[in-house]
Chains A and B, each alone.
Chain A
Amino acid sequence: SQQGEEDPQALSIQEGENATMNCSYKTSINNLQWYRQNSGRGLVHLILIRSNEREKHSGRLRVTLDTSKKSSSLLITASRAADTASYFCATLDSGYALNFGKGTSLLVTP
């Protein structure tokens, strides 16, 4: 079942600016992940943060997790046109399958 809910649904920024997306979820989790999907393609894993972690970095990506608020944020710094894509958060609880949100559509204009 869907658990993650991304906010905003759509985001438009200029190259060089930072992009922040938020994700809220409902139940306890083992980990939370962010994925990117370029138009019409499969999803690509970006970063995973475990429930006992608060912040994680990977290149221009920074993810935070607040389990008390059941929320996460993804920050992309110094955005590029190539970052244009949909971004999904996904949570893994005690089940087998990831639960995905509906995604944030990011447009980065030159």
Chain B
Amino acid sequence: DVKVTQSSRYLVKRTGEKVFLECVQDMDHENMFWYRQDPGLGLRLIYFSYDVKMKEKGDIPEGYSVSREKKERFSLILESASTNQTSMYLCASRGSGLIFGTQYFGPGTRLLVL
């Protein structure tokens, strides 16, 4: 079974803090993704990575950065957390090949920025 784990289920941070969200997958997947989910807005893609050290901006990258130093780990960084970054953050991974497509999601991290 594919397993995607996220470092925290719940996180409370203060405005201006630097926040790290970690995601690890155990299926040797090339592609990894970070989404945020907000009520009424669905899932929005922040960043994705298709290989180690490679990254691409998604639809809402502002205020975020990512790091992929190892294939199994994809980190989302909030350089200076703001209250409008309070959200549910979901990490996902997927194997290579565009004809495939099943993404495996982690359990999510609910972040509250005060």
Contacts and interface: CB of A to CB of B under 8 A. Distances in A.
Contact of B107 (A42, A88, A92, A94): A42
B56 A96 contact: yes
A106 B22 CA distance: 31
A50 B101 CA distance: 10
B106 A96 contact: no
A96 B50 contact: yes
Interface in B87-110: 88, 90, 92, 98-99, 101-108, 110
A69 interface: no
Which secondary structure dominates where chain B touches chain A? strand
Contact of B43 (A41, A45, A92, A100): A100
Number of chain B interface residues as a range:
20 to 34
Contact of B105 (A1, A42, A97): A42
A98 interface: yes
Interface in A4-48: 30-31, 33, 35, 40-45, 48
Contacts, number: 63
A31 B40 contact: no
Given A2-B42, A88-B42, A98 B107 contact: no
B104 to A, nearest CB: 7
Contacts of A40: 88, 108, 110
Interface residues of A, number: 26
Contacts of A31: 99, 101
B61 interface: no
A102 B105 contact: no
9 contacts: A33-B103, A41-B107, A43-B43, A43-B105, A50-B99, A96-B31, A97-B58, A100-B35, A102-B40
Interface of B: 4, 31, 33, 35, 40-45, 48, 50, 56, 58-59, 88, 90, 92, 98-99, 101-108, 110
Interface of A: 1-2, 30-31, 33, 35, 40-45, 48, 50, 88, 90, 92, 94, 96-103
Given A43-B92, A44-B105, 14 more contacts: A2-B42, A33-B103, A35-B105, A41-B107, A42-B90, A43-B103, A43-B105, A45-B102, A96-B56, A98-B101, A102-B40, A102-B41, A102-B42, A103-B42
